[in-house]
Structure 1
Amino acid sequence: MKLTKTPVFKTLLMMALPMSWGIFSVIGFNLADTYFIGNIGKTELAAISLTFPVVTFFASMALGVATAGSSIISRALGRKDYELVRRLTSDTLIFALLLVVIFVFIGLCTMEPVFRLLGADDKLMPIIKDYMSIWYPGMVFVALPMAGNGAIRAQGDTKTASIIMMVAAITNVILDPILIFGLGPIPSMGIKGAAWATVIARAFTMIASIGVLHFKYRMLDFRFPKASEAISSWKKILFIGIPAAGANIITPLALSLSTAIVARMGQESIAAFGVVSRIESFALIFILAVSSSMGPIVGQNFGAQKIDRIKKALNSSIMIALVWSAFMAFALSNFGSYLMPLFNEDPEVVSLGALYFQIVPISFGFLGMRLIACSSFNAMGKPFSSTLLVIFNMVVLYLPLVFLGSKFYGMKGVFYAGAVSNLIAGIVGFYFIRSAIRLHDVS
């Protein structure tokens, strides 16, 4: 898609809508794993829960590489430097592969001490080893398609990338019960079956994404790269990838710490916090899709030096985020309490959920403003501005406000902490991204 020529608002919607389904499928992918593993037993579910920090850390690193690749590729596309596009795409995939090799080696060699440190006992450790001994080598099927889909999105093609993710999610849902519990001649593999289902589904995404890059977009260069070319590409990837990965790690880490604070307030509080977090993840899908779609639009137009189009995209995306926020605030404040019993019927849990729906959803639009600013900064090759904005939101604002709010106002204070931090970070993010765009417009 020629993101430097097509109507901005229409293009943004055309990219965000299929992206929403892709994000939905990723969330569904994780929920399906949790559901089927939970049916094996609570011991297996506890073991898998302990793998989440390691899986999240690696996924954050891989997503950092994908973000970096998408940024530099989209800017090269904007400049119409198609030879460089092929070189950058190929070097991004090679870099992702090298990253996997390093992580697989480290992961397999440090499995025992790492998971002991995370709290695994003698009962959980064998289950974790069964799962991770398959998952670690399968990381190649996580990192390469992430980088590949990032390059596809750089073209403005969110539809193909989303279809790949959706087919992978459906494949995983089909394979999970078959490989975990067995079917016909296929034996029951338990936790190993869950790992194999994930690896097979992810393998499809790798084959599909690389196939699309080569056959549809001709974005791969199979010539053996010169050392100077590869190093130049990898420097660009690291410049954006390291801070982007750091930003990806900060948010789940801050949420884990806030969960620990809430846990001190009782089982009902932590149950309500967990339920509303799940509902929130679905409510934010469209805003996440809009912010993700901004990356290729800003990147291509920044490469083409079409700053006016970036301004239009920024204004359009923020308007969409605010309208969606108003819609979700109305829907959840009026009907959200009916969703709570689907997860937990305890009256206090339902009551706390209803309180959350009255406070937090109205701030989703401002969270969207911060996400849009971060995506735009990365696309413009300014990753440290994006990371600083995440630190400001989650570390400077959110965590201290959660601590103080919980101490003086209980769960109501926790919910207001989320809303206020979203509000302030969104306004600050909008101010700084607008200033950065104006600076380039003047120059």
Structure 2
Amino acid sequence: MSDIAVAPIPVDDGEQPLPPIAAPARNALIDGPILRTLLWLAWPNVIALSAGTCVVIAETSYIGRLGVEALAAMALVFPCVILTMTMSGGAMGGGVASAIARALGAGDIDRASTLAAHALLIGICFGLTFMLGMLIFGPRLLELLGGRGEVLANAIAYAQIFFGGAVLPWLLNTMAGILRGTGNMKLPSLLILNSAVCQIILGGTLGLGLGPVPQFGMRGVAAGSLIAYSISVSIMAWYLFSGRARVVPKIRGLRIRRAMFVDILKVGLVSCFSPLQSVLTISIFTHMLAGFGTAILAGYGIGARLEFMLTSVAFAFGIASVPMVGMAIGAGRIARARQIAWTAGTLSFVSVGAIATVIAIFPDLWVNIFTEDSAMRSASRQYLSTAAPMYAFIGLAMSMYFSSQGAAKVIGPVLAQSARLVFIGLGGWWLSTHDASAENFFVLAATSMVVLGVLSSSSVILTRWGPKGGAVPEVRPALS
């Protein structure tokens, strides 16, 4: 990204006509057609996250070969893993991308580079916090979620390895956020694709013990993920610090500046409450279902993995909107920023809803991949036919969340997630006191998705994105 294009002011010396003032260089993220630019930024994410879907399918498939207890254990630990990935990628990573995009939108490349260095410090600190927290309190947490016997032992085995290297996914997603803030979606997506391939190969080999490799079970599956992340972290770090990126983190001679942390954390830290509440919602729901037995819990876990896969589709459009909205806000183009948000939201709603509806009608397309156990298949079919049509609202909510990050106005979507948490908690308590069936709980989950989508959209409508004092002058940075 080059500096702001500033045309020299012509001087009238009375002897020659004034030359025309050159038009500022165009930036596609600020000036380009919204739908076309959004799709151009999103397609690398769609491809890469499709590979992530393959990881979800492959991982669940070979964990299923380890037994029903292993599948139930993965359903138990899955919320904690998702919290790590969504908090580091979508929440704090989105906050990093927002801060850098707004700096670049205002034409301040030096500030963007300083923000990048502070972002890496934040990523390391959060990674260490997750590592220590799960190693110390993880076993007790998994037990509170309903883990018992062999299921609990498998869940702890996975958690000890995965969270022992929690700094790696935090660093990976922080670096990805830096690049996405500059509008570079291709490299992070390529490395997600790389990680997906490595996870499938390494996780399956170490987990099942293929060829001469002994079977490490759940520990091997977790180790495969960490090795894949370490490869991608190394490549992305080389790219960032080699000067090939538009923003190079200023590490040498770095002076810690509170304002830099505030600019990132005012979006990223508040955003972290959204995945935290989302995982808390899933954890409460998982705990409620655990009372119905292992088959219901494992069957729900298979259905929940589809939700994770489809939110990845929404992630592709949502994260693409962050630099577009952020640069538009930085340049003072508030109306364009809102138009970007609604375009991304519509794309997420339609794409997620279309796929989910097909699976709801033909659930065996998904269920057959994972299990032949009749009880688990029945539970999965029941959950998917009830909840899957409502996944479109999850996609809409996620897109509104990311667009709000770009505008640095994320509290509305976070409060929408709070409302869903309360809805699930109170609704689940009421159902528990009335001897409800598992199907009743599935209806509760589906309804909560509609609540989340409607409230998230309403928050974007009701929240002021522009400055309180009115309009700000537009700044048009040159496109490199």
So what's the TM-score if we normalise by structure 1?
Answer: 0.82
The answer to whether 1:224 aligns with 2:250 is no
Distance 1:301 1:361 in 2: 34
Residues 402, 418 of structure 1: 8 Å contact kept: no
Deviation larger for 311-320 or 176-185? 176-185
Residues 71, 298 of structure 2: 8 Å contact kept: no
Distance 1:304 1:285 in 2: 29
Q: CA deviation at 1:217?
A: 1.4
Q: CA deviation at 1:186?
A: 6.0
Q: CA deviation at 1:297?
A: 1.9
User: Aligned runs of 1:230-249 on 2, under 5 Å?
Assistant: 231-249=258-276
The answer to whether 1:166 aligns with 2:184 is no
Letter in 2 for 1:164: L
The answer to whether 1:300 aligns with 2:327 is yes
Aligned equivalent of 1:75: 102
Distance 1:121 1:351 in 2: 23
Deviation per residue, 1:188-220 (Å, 9 max, x gap): 655554444222211111112223333431422
Letter in 1 for 2:268: G
Residues 98, 405 of structure 2: 8 Å contact kept: yes
Amino-acid identity (%): 23
Distance 1:418 1:90 in 2: 40
Letter in 1 for 2:124: L
Aligned equivalent of 1:13: 39
Residues 359, 388 of structure 2: 8 Å contact kept: yes
- Helix, strand or coil at the partner of 2:29: coil
Q: CA deviation at 1:391?
A: 0.6
| CA 351–129 in structure 1, closer or farther in 2 if over 3 Å, else same | closer
So what's the TM-score if we normalise by structure 2?
Answer: 0.77
| CA 59–303 in structure 1, closer or farther in 2 if over 3 Å, else same | same
Q: CA deviation at 1:179?
A: 4.0
Q: Which has the larger radius of gyration?
A: 2
Tell me the matched-pair count.
440
The answer to whether 1:85 aligns with 2:112 is yes
User: Aligned runs of 1:111-190 on 2, under 5 Å?
Assistant: 134-180=161-207
| CA 413–119 in structure 1, closer or farther in 2 if over 3 Å, else same | closer
Residues 413, 459 of structure 2: 8 Å contact kept: no
Residues 374, 389 of structure 1: 8 Å contact kept: no
Aligned equivalent of 2:288: 261
Aligned equivalent of 1:274: 301
Residues 307, 437 of structure 1: 8 Å contact kept: no
Q: CA deviation at 1:290?
A: 1.8
Distance 2:86 2:151 in 1: 25
Residues 307, 440 of structure 1: 8 Å contact kept: no
Distance 1:268 1:121 in 2: 14
Unaligned runs of 5+ in 1: none
| CA 7–109 in structure 1, closer or farther in 2 if over 3 Å, else same | same
Distance 2:152 2:439 in 1: 38
Q: State which of 396, 399, 412 in structure 2 corresponds to 1:369.
A: 396
Deviation larger for 288-297 or 183-192? 183-192
| CA 346–139 in structure 1, closer or farther in 2 if over 3 Å, else same | closer
Residues 69, 151 of structure 2: 8 Å contact kept: yes
Distance 1:348 1:38 in 2: 14
Aligned equivalent of 1:250: 277
Deviation larger for 379-388 or 86-95? 379-388
Q: CA deviation at 1:371?
A: 1.8
Unaligned runs of 5+ in 2: 1-26, 472-480
